[in-house]
Structure 1
Amino acid sequence: MSDPVILKIETAGQRLGLLPELGGSVAFWEVRRNDGWHAIWRPYAPTTADGRRTVGNFPLVPFSNRVTGGGITVDGEFHPMTPNRFDPTPIHGTGWMHEWETREHGAQVIELSVESHRKHGYPWDYFATQRYSLGDDSMTMRLEVEHLGDKPMPYGLAWHPFQLRGDNPEGPRLQFRADGYWLAGDDCIPQELVEDLPADRDFNALRPLGHGKIDNNFSGWDGRMRMERDDIDLRIDWETTEPDNLTTSILFRPENLPFFCFEPITHITDAFHRPGMPGMRMLKKGERMALEVVQKLSHIHP
Structure 2
Amino acid sequence: MSANNPHPIHWLQHAGQRLGLVPSLGGGVAAWQLERAQGALDLWRPWDGRNPDRYSLASFAMVPWSNRISQGGFTQGDVFHRMRVNRIGEPYPIHGDGWLQAWKLEQPAANTLEMTLHSQQFEGNPYAYRALQRFVLRKGGMDQTLSVTHTGAQPLPYGLGQHPWFLRTPATRLHAPVQGVWLSGVDPLPVAHTTAFPPSWDPCDGLNVNGTLVDNAYTGWSGAARITWPEHQLQLEMRVPEIEARKQNDGFCLLYRPAQGPAFCFEPITHPIDAFHVDGQPGLRVLQTGETLTLHTEWRFSNLP
TM-score w.r.t. the length of structure 2 is: 0.93
Report what 1:296 is aligned to: 300
Residues of 2 paired with 1:11 and 1:114: CA distance? 25
What are the residue-to-residue correspondences of 1:127-146 with 2, within 5 Å?
127-146=130-149
How many residues in Structure 1 have an aligned counterpart in Structure 2? 297
What are the residue-to-residue correspondences of 1:25-174 with 2, within 5 Å?
25-46=28-49, 48=51, 51=53, 53-86=55-88, 87-104=90-107, 106-166=109-169, 169-170=170-171, 172-174=172-174
Task: String of CA shifts for 1:161-181, please: whole Å, max 9, x gaps.
Answer: 001103xx24x1210011111
Amino acid corresponding to residue 78 of structure 1 in structure 2? F
Residues of 1 paired with 2:299 and 2:5: CA distance? 33
Residues of 2 paired with 1:251 and 1:184: CA distance? 13
Report what 2:241 is aligned to: 241
Amino acid corresponding to residue 111 of structure 1 in structure 2? E
- 1:44 is paired with a residue of what secondary structure? coil
CA contact (8 A) 1:128 1:144 kept: yes
Report what 1:262 is aligned to: 266
Q: Does 1:16 align with 2:19?
A: yes
Residues of 1 paired with 2:166 and 2:210: CA distance? 14
Deviation at 1:29, TM superposition (A): 0.7
Residues 53, 192 of structure 1: alpha-carbon distance in 2 compared, 3 angstrom cutoff:
closer
Report what 1:225 is aligned to: 225
Residues of 2 paired with 1:119 and 1:260: CA distance? 29
Residues of 1 paired with 2:87 and 2:297: CA distance? 27
| Structure 2: unaligned runs, 5 residues or longer | none
Amino acid corresponding to residue 93 of structure 1 in structure 2? G
Deviation at 1:3, TM superposition (A): 4.4
Task: String of CA shifts for 1:53-104, please: whole Å, max 9, x gaps.
Answer: 4100000000000110011111010111110111111000010111101133
CA contact (8 A) 1:46 1:54 kept: no
Deviation at 1:13, TM superposition (A): 2.2
Bigger mean CA offset, 39-48 vs 251-260? 39-48
Task: String of CA shifts for 1:233-263, please: whole Å, max 9, x gaps.
Answer: 2111111023555521100100111000000
CA contact (8 A) 2:149 2:293 kept: yes
- 1:242 is paired with a residue of what secondary structure? helix
Residues 52, 290 of structure 1: alpha-carbon distance in 2 compared, 3 angstrom cutoff:
closer
Residues of 2 paired with 1:176 and 1:52: CA distance? 26
Deviation at 1:200, TM superposition (A): 0.4
Report what 1:198 is aligned to: 198
CA contact (8 A) 2:15 2:140 kept: no
Task: String of CA shifts for 1:24-68, please: whole Å, max 9, x gaps.
Answer: 10000111233111111111125658x564100000000000110
Task: String of CA shifts for 1:102-137, please: whole Å, max 9, x gaps.
Answer: 133543210110000100111011000000111010
- 2:241 is paired with a residue of what secondary structure? strand
For the aligned residue pairs, the C-alpha RMSD in angstroms reads: 1.7
- 1:120 is paired with a residue of what secondary structure? helix
Residues 2, 47 of structure 1: alpha-carbon distance in 2 compared, 3 angstrom cutoff:
closer
Amino acid corresponding to residue 270 of structure 2 in structure 1? T
TM-score w.r.t. the length of structure 1 is: 0.93
Percent sequence identity is 37
Residues of 2 paired with 1:48 and 1:134: CA distance? 26
